[in-house]
Amino acid sequence: MSLIQPPLLQALGIRNATVHHNPGVDELYAAAIRLGEGVQAATGPLTVRTDKTGRSPKDRFIVEDDLTRDTVWWGGFNVPTTSEVFDRLLQKMTAYAEGRELFVQDVFAGTDPEYRLSVRAVTEMAYHSLFVRNMFVRPTPAEREAFEPQWTILNLPSFKADPAEDGVRSETFILVNFTRQMILVGGTQYAGENKKGIFGVMNFLLPARGVMPMHCSANVGEEGDVALFFGLSGTGKTTLSADPNRRLIGDDEHGWSDRGIFNFEGGCYAKVIHLNPEAEPAIYQTTRTYGTVLENVVLDEHGVPDLDDGSLTENTRSAYPITQIQNIVEEGLAGHPRNIIFLTADAYGVLPPLSRLTPEQMMYQFISGFTAKIPGTEQGVTEPQPTFSTCFGAPFMPRHPGEYARLLAQKVQEHGVRVWLVNTGWSGGPYGVGQRMSIRHTRALIHAALSGKLDGVAFEREPFFNLEIPTEVPGVPAEVLNPRQAWADQDAYDRTARKLAGMFRENFKRFEDGVDPAVTASMPDHG
């Protein structure tokens, strides 16, 4: 602990405060408990409760200036603000921070030294500092000695904005300034804003360098074959990429450069509600490990995490260094992918369990980013509802989706990558009528795709989405492969398929001006 002296926080204008610079796990545990942020569970992790139990995407703003005016795709999650609003809040936050206790972590975003970003995270909460230490790439002692931050995060949860005076929507705010290379966060204790804020920065910066940023997991087989898994929450991205026969590169955020795949992170941020110790033993073990941060996980009467208790939120999380997982690629680097899997949980039960995508269909599905909510997941959801999250990560993509799709298509074409759409949702009918796709069948389908066993198999085209379906796959019944054949009432299938195809077409209208006409032409026929 020491008194801050320039130039440690010179960029922020904080003249004096009590600072912990690059504190370790023991120091952060002690500080978090001392400050009343959390408690140590009987099994070892630090458990914390937060005022907000998820991100606040409607309170996120990007400063519109000469750097961003014509490069950010404004609208939706990319809401503009002014330099004046940013500077006023920065001045208020630095004044608020004077004389306070702060925690500073110097870390990297990106495992590839050519493309990584050096980040200084200044946080009011000790638990946030531990989160940053777990989730980002920690410098070596030599790298830390010469560390110069390119970006700075200032995160003060107890500082709340005045919406009327400060030009923001609520007391909570996340402001990103690409010219000043800073992120301001206030009014929320949810640590995920630190991670996703920098993820959005990487997503903006890397395409200009020819690097494709991706919200996906990645693993590699024994022969060095890399596979990428894109998918929204509930599609099985983490489960299916955690294959005992393949090494995990990372579970959430990656870049694809001319050198290959690299992980953005040094840790994992897993959703742990109802985590099954038998189905996901590696992730389960992290919830019992010293050094892990558990957000909003309830402890039982013995001080042991109860992963089935969702009384605080369904969005319970475990943040841990990736080194807590066995069977990983420790350097976080690998070659170019051989296969890409788009995962969707179709609660309408009409998409095939597995289909092969053309380049145009790949861009269309990537921009659409479809999955479906099921009844009971949110208040008022009484029937399946479509969710379209462009690029499988809409809140974190500052550029036009067509720009990311074109870059991905270039990489796919250059390296001869096969792209597959896998439905982990329902078969034989919609939610409430059909059955959830068998995880055993899904694993068999993915194994067949990754191993090349489908190279010599005949494919047939289904009429509603123009998707190519394999006629046979080892270990999977033939009637499962074609979704129409799995429905007892095939007329009902046709009606439901037309309905979903229409939803796809309606959603895609807002992207048509920014994509190649061939991509638009690949959309479903029967809207």
pLDDT of residue 152: 96
Residue 526 lies in a domain: no
Whether residue 303 sits in one domain with residue 417: no
Confidence of residue 404 (pLDDT cuts 50, 70, 90): very high
Greatest alpha-carbon pair distance for the chain in Å reads 73
pLDDT of residue 523: 81
3 contact partners, CB below 8 Å, separation of at least 6 = 16, 17, 18, 19
pLDDT of residue 376: 46
Q: pTM (2 decimals)? A: 0.93
Report the distance separating Cα 393 and Cα 387, nearest Å: 11
**Residue 96 in this model has a pLDDT that exceeds 60:** yes
Whether residue 170 sits in one domain with residue 86: yes
**Residue 237 in this model has a pLDDT that exceeds 70:** yes
| Catalytic annotation, pick one of 111, 238, 371, 522 | 238
| Catalytic annotation, pick one of 92, 180, 317, 441 | 317
Residue 406 falls in the annotated catalytic set: no
- The tens digit of pLDDT for each residue in 464-490 reads 999 999 999 988 998 889 999 999 999
Whether residue 130 sits in one domain with residue 252: no
> Please, what is the average pLDDT of the chain?
93
Which of 324, 344, 369 terminates a domain? The answer is 324
Residue 225 falls in the annotated catalytic set: no
Whether residue 420 sits in one domain with residue 404: yes
Report the distance separating Cα 141 and Cα 139, nearest Å: 6
| Catalytic annotation, pick one of 237, 400, 411, 418 | 237
Residue 158 falls in the annotated catalytic set: no
Whether residue 431 sits in one domain with residue 404: yes
**Residue 3 in this model has a pLDDT that exceeds 80:** no
Confidence of residue 357 (pLDDT cuts 50, 70, 90): very high
Residue 292 falls in the annotated catalytic set: no
Least confident of 99-113, 405-419, 430-444: 430-444
Domain that holds residue 514: 212-257+336-521
Confidence of residue 446 (pLDDT cuts 50, 70, 90): very high
- The tens digit of pLDDT for each residue in 36-54 reads 999 999 999 999 999 999 9
How much of the chain exceeds pLDDT 90, in percent? 82
pLDDT of residue 2: 55
Sign of CA dihedral 122, 126, 130, 135: negative
Residue 443 lies in a domain: yes
Whether residue 108 sits in one domain with residue 63: yes
| Interval 56-74 mean pLDDT | 96
Please state, in angstroms and as integers, the Cα–Cα distance from residue 494 to each residue in 433, 454, 463, 483, following that order: 15, 27, 10, 10
Whether residue 317 sits in one domain with residue 225: no
- Which secondary-structure segment (H or E) carries 129? helix 126-135
| Catalytic annotation, pick one of 59, 112, 252, 346 | 252
CATH of the domain at 312: 2.170.8.10
Whether residue 493 sits in one domain with residue 423: yes
How much of the chain exceeds pLDDT 70, in percent? 96
pLDDT of residue 377: 46
pLDDT of residue 230: 97
Q: CB of 270 within 8 A of CB of 296?
A: no
| Catalytic annotation, pick one of 20, 120, 128, 196 | 196
Whether residue 431 sits in one domain with residue 290: no
Which of 324, 346, 372 terminates a domain? The answer is 324
| Catalytic annotation, pick one of 20, 52, 215, 406 | 215
CATH of the domain at 83: 3.40.449.10
pLDDT of residue 210: 97
Q: For residues 137 and 326, which has the higher predicted lDDT (pLDDT)? A: 137
pLDDT of residue 301: 96
Residue 120 falls in the annotated catalytic set: no
**Residue 344 in this model has a pLDDT that exceeds 80:** yes
Residue 238 falls in the annotated catalytic set: yes
Residue 237 falls in the annotated catalytic set: yes
Sign of CA dihedral 126, 128, 130, 132: negative
**Residue 7 in this model has a pLDDT that exceeds 70:** no
pLDDT of residue 486: 93
| Catalytic annotation, pick one of 53, 71, 233, 289 | 233
pLDDT of residue 93: 97
- The tens digit of pLDDT for each residue in 256-277 reads 999 999 999 999 998 899 888 9
Please state, in angstroms and as integers, the Cα–Cα distance from residue 441 to each residue in 277, 351, 438, 451, following that order: 21, 15, 5, 15
State the Cα angle at 135 between 338 and 321, rounded to 5°: 80
**Residue 8 in this model has a pLDDT that exceeds 80:** no
**Residue 527 in this model has a pLDDT that exceeds 80:** no
Report the distance separating Cα 276 and Cα 284, nearest Å: 7
Confidence of residue 11 (pLDDT cuts 50, 70, 90): confident
pLDDT of residue 267: 96
**Residue 435 in this model has a pLDDT that exceeds 70:** yes
Burial zone of 440 (CB within 10 Å; 0-12 exposed, 13-18 middle, 19+ buried): exposed
| Catalytic annotation, pick one of 55, 128, 246, 406 | 55
**Residue 173 in this model has a pLDDT that exceeds 90:** yes
pLDDT of residue 5: 55
Residue 15 falls in the annotated catalytic set: no
Whether residue 277 sits in one domain with residue 251: no
| Interval 20-48 mean pLDDT | 97
Whether residue 115 sits in one domain with residue 84: yes
